[in-house]
Amino acid sequence: MERRCLDAQFKGVSTGVSKNNYVSSKTINKVIQVHDRIFCCMAGSLADAQAVLKAAKFHLSFHSVQMESQPQVIAAASVLKDLCYKNKDELQAGFITAGWDRKKGPQIYVVSLGGMLISQQVTIGGSGSTYIYGYVDAKYRPDMSREECLQFATNALALAMGRDNVSGGVAHLVVITESGAEHIVVPGNKLPKFNDE
């Protein structure tokens, strides 16, 4: 999930990976860096997502060499969108691309399963996201500070992980600003506790 607050970007994902009902790993990092200030969150089939991201990373670094400058966030998102749309029959992967570039500042783009690309201020995705639509709708404000945003993202992830059986483990958060990217990891037992029986 991501949100945009003032001049920073937040991305957060939980780390569970499962095949049918077996959780194959509790500590996968689903937030992948594709460039200095551009990160992608994976959702769907992680095998597909990893393959797509590997190709996208290569495309993007080649693109930035050709343009002789840092790639724009929309460039990264478009690369992903092309791959997802052209191979939509074989792939089952969705992405949230977020980052900072000099032209438009912080941005968030969503590439959905079939290859649609849209820009949003705040977005959530993945199987656990259905449980937090209400929470995100109620609590998001466009003018939050960095700390408020971080708390909001952590809370939302904790609530989703509490309800979704295939989400869980550790929460990875990345804060992306003009000055760089900071990776924050919150282990399961340090997440905020709520009233979920």
Partner 1 sequence: DVSDAAARFCPKRSGSGMDREEVSTGTTIMAVEYDGGVVIGADSRTTTGAYIANRVTDKLTPIHERIFCCRSGSAADTQAIAEVVAYQLAPLVETAAHLFKASCYRYREELTAGILVAGWDRRRGGQVYCVPIGGMLVRQPVSVGGSGSTYIYGFMDSNYKPNMTKEQCLELTASALTLAMERDGSSGGVVRLASISESGVERRVILGNQLPKIVSTH
Q: Is 89 in the site for partner 1 (CB under 8 A)?
A: no
Q: Is 156 in the site for partner 1 (CB under 8 A)?
A: yes
Q: Is 62 in the site for partner 1 (CB under 8 A)?
A: no
Q: Which of 68, 90, 147, 197 binds partner 1 (CB under 8 A)?
A: 197
Q: Which of residues 104-123 bind partner 1 (CB under 8 A)?
A: 120-122
Residue recorded with tokens 């089952």: 92
Task: Give CA–CA dist 98/72, Å, rounded.
Answer: 10
> What are the tokens at 29?
């990092």
Three-state helix/strand/coil letters over the chain: CEEEECCEEEEEEECCEEECCEEEECCCCCEEEEECCEEEEEEECHHHHHHHHHHHHHHHHHHHHHHCCCCCHHHHHHHHHHHHHHCCCCCCEEEEEEEEECCCEEEEEEECCCCCEEECCEECCCHHHHHHHHHHHHHCCCCCCHHHHHHHHHHHHHHHHHHCCCCCCCEEEEEEECCEEEEEEECHHHCCCCCCC
How many residues lie near partner 1 (CB under 8 A)? 25
Q: Is 140 in the site for partner 1 (CB under 8 A)?
A: yes
The one segment of 43-51, 135-143, 170-178, 179-187 that binds partner 1 by CB under 8 A: 135-143
Task: Give the contact letters, 10-49, x = binds to partner 1 (CB under 8 A), - = no.
Answer: ----------------------------------------
Shortest gap between Cβ of 131 and partner 1 (angstroms)? 4
Shortest gap between Cβ of 135 and partner 1 (angstroms)? 4
Starting at the edge strand found earlier in the chain, the sheet holding 31-35 runs 31-35, 38-44, 93-101, 105-111, 117-119
Q: Which of 86, 103, 104, 163 binds partner 1 (CB under 8 A)?
A: 163
Compare residues 7 and 196 and give the one whose CB is closer to partner 1.
196
Q: Is 160 in the site for partner 1 (CB under 8 A)?
A: yes
Residue recorded with tokens 């597909």: 48
Shortest gap between Cβ of 121 and partner 1 (angstroms)? 7
Q: Is 133 in the site for partner 1 (CB under 8 A)?
A: yes
Q: Give residues in contact with partner 1 (CB under 8 A).
A: 120-122, 130-138, 140-142, 155-156, 159-160, 162-163, 194-197
